């Protein structure tokens, strides 16, 4: 059992940076359904595919009254480049602060690649109900078909 919030718990209300230098936090979406997808790094193949998939389905999420927010540790400048390069319409946020939202949820975690251990973002998605509580969690996401699966779950909520 982890100490991290799970289904039925309130989404921690921790502010993150936006590409334009502003701030965004989960409570700003209260009264609406919110999908927060955490991804490792801008402009990497899986992350680009995931962000483009959510962008392609954004009109469907909008029609269902569901807000989207993509989150990584990348800087505002990197997010701006990522958005411009791939025509992303999905809002992005930077969770670069120590003890940020990704830390509170346990998605900033120890990872291993090629025998090396390092801290990194675990690709995960959270569906938050209009009541601000976590309705569903997708840990260790596989990108293919993921945005469609999240949309179906959000519509059903």
47 is catalytic: yes
Q: What is the C-alpha to C-alpha distance for residues 53 and 88, in angstroms, rounded to an integer?
A: 10
Q: What is the C-alpha to C-alpha distance for residues 70 and 84, in angstroms, rounded to an integer?
A: 15
Distance of CA 100 to the CA centre of its chain: 13
Q: Residue 117: what are its φ and ψ, rounded to 5°?
A: -105, 135
Two tokens, residue 127: 């569906």
Q: What is the C-alpha to C-alpha distance for residues 80 and 11, in angstroms, rounded to an integer?
A: 26
Alpha-helix runs per DSSP H in the chain: 45-63, 76-86, 101-105, 146-156
**Type and span of the H or E element at 120:** strand 116-121
Q: Which among 16, 36, 47, 141 is annotated as catalytic?
A: 47
Which residues are tagged catalytic?
47
């Amino acid at each position: 059992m982890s100490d991290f919030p799970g289904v039925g718990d309130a989404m921690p209300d921790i502010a993150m940076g936006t590409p334009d230098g502003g701030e965004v936090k989960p409570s700003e979406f209260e009264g609406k359904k919110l999908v927060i997808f955490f991804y490792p790094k801008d402009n990497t193949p899986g992350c680009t595919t995931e962000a483009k998939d959510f962008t392609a389905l954004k009109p469907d999420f909008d029609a269902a009254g569901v807000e989207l927010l993509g989150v990584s540790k990348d800087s505002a400048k990197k997010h701006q480049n990522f958005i411009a390069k791939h025509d992303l319409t999905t809002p992005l946020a930077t969770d670069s602060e120590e003890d940020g939202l990704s830390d509170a949820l346990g998605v900033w975690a120890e990872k291993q690649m090629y025998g090396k251990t390092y801290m990194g973002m675990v690709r995960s998605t959270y569906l938050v109900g209009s009541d601000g509580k976590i309705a569903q969690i997708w840990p260790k996401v596989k990108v293919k078909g993921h945005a469609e699966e999240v949309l179906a779950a959000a519509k059903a909520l």
